[in-house]
């Protein structure tokens, strides 16, 4: 699921249907991100949903914990680096909130919530700004790499040819996918042909029509 760069799975655990649904809708309206909320209304389902849905963030009412507590959840999701955010609807002690990665009040504005969630991840605002300042069109180096990918070269082969590290090529490819919004090699091939980066005859070898 994480192949979609900006997809964020958020699990909302809150007994009040009004607050739960309201938060879901607020999260979905946050521009520039694709937040996929899943809601649970009883704590018994938490383990199961964590396992099947594998969320990136758990937003939970601090009064919601029952026989499951935060230490248990941290242990279950140790591998997935789950972030836990407190959903605060009443006065809560700082001592309690400190255990959470972040806390959201039901009076927070959508902008506040957005900032708090993004601060927990790489997709921070600063980085977003940086990338939007960058040109969204491909650099000549990136075009060069697209052509080689389309011609069927592996990342390693491309690295050798351009005297770069494989790691650099992978970074370039990630940027190419993000800029073009094309993630498959097959899709890149169509892109490259249609935009005349390569001719049909150049890729014939690994592209039998």
d(CA 146, CA 138) in angstroms, rounded, equals 9
Applying CB under 8 A, which of residues 6, 52, 72, 165 lies at the interface with other proteins? Answer: 52
Q: In 54-106, which ranges are continuous DSSP H helix?
A: 70-76, 94-97
Decide whether 112 or 181 has the Cβ nearer to other proteins. 181
CB nearer to other proteins: give 35 or 159. Answer: 35
Residues 6+ apart with CB under 8 A from 90: 63
Distance CA 31, CA 20 (A): 20
> How far apart (Å, rounded) are the C-alpha atoms in residues 197 and 194?
8
* 78: contact with other proteins by CB under 8 A: no
Among 24, 61, 77, 155, binds other proteins (CB under 8 A): 24
Specify the residue, 82 or 159, whose C-beta has the smaller distance to other proteins: 82
From residue 145 to residue 164, what is the string marking binding to other proteins with x (rule CB under 8 A)? Answer: --------------------
Burial of 133 (0-12, 13-18, 19+ CB in 10 A): exposed
Minimum gap (Å) between residue 145 Cβ and other proteins: 17
Q: Which of 81, 184, 201, 205 binds other proteins (CB under 8 A)?
A: 184
Among 5, 15, 32, 48, which residue interacts with other proteins (rule: CB under 8 A)?
48
Residues 102/119, Cβ–Cβ less than 8 Å: yes
Question: In this complex, which beta carbon is closest to other proteins, that of residue 76 or of residue 191?
Answer: 191
- Please identify, among the stretches 84-92, 110-118, 160-168, 184-192, the one whose residues bind other proteins according to the rule CB under 8 A: 184-192
Nearer to other proteins, 15 or 134 (CB): 15
Q: How far apart are CA 48 and CA 45, in angstroms?
A: 5
Strands 34-40 vs 102-105: parallel, antiparallel or unpaired: unpaired
Quote the tokens at residue 182: 């094309």
| Residue 168 burial class via C-beta count within 10 angstroms: exposed 0-12, middle 13-18, buried 19 and up | middle
Stretch that binds other proteins, among 44-52, 59-67, 101-109, 155-163 (CB under 8 A): 44-52
Q: Is 39 in the site for other proteins (CB under 8 A)?
A: yes
> Which residues contribute to the site for other proteins (CB under 8 A)?
1, 3, 20-21, 24-25, 37-42, 44-45, 48-49, 52-53, 180-184, 186-187, 189-191, 193-195, 200, 207, 209
């Amino acid at each position: 699921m994480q192949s979609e760069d900006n997809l964020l799975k958020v699990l909302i655990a809150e007994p009040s249907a009004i607050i739960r649904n309201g938060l879901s809708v607020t999260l979905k309206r946050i521009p520039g991100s694709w937040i996929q909320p899943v809601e649970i209304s009883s704590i018994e389902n938490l383990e199961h949903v964590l396992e099947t849905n594998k969320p990136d963030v758990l937003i939970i009412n601090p009064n919601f914990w029952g026989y499951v507590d935060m230490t248990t959840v941290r242990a279950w999701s140790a591998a997935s680096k789950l972030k836990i955010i407190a959903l605060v609807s009443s006065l809560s002690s700082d001592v309690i909130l400190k255990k959470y990665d972040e806390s959201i009040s039901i009076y927070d504005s959508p902008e506040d919530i957005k900032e708090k969630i993004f601060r927990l991840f790489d997709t921070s605002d600063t980085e977003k700004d940086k990338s939007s300042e960058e040109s969204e069109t491909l650099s000549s180096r990136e075009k060069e790499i697209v052509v080689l990918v389309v011609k069927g070269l592996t990342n390693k082969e491309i690295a050798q040819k351009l005297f770069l590290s494989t790691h650099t090529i992978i970074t370039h490819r990630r940027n190419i996918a993000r800029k073009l919004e094309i993630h498959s090699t097959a899709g890149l091939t169509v892109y490259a042909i249609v935009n005349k980066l390569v001719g049909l005859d150049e890729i014939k070898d690994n592209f039998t029509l």
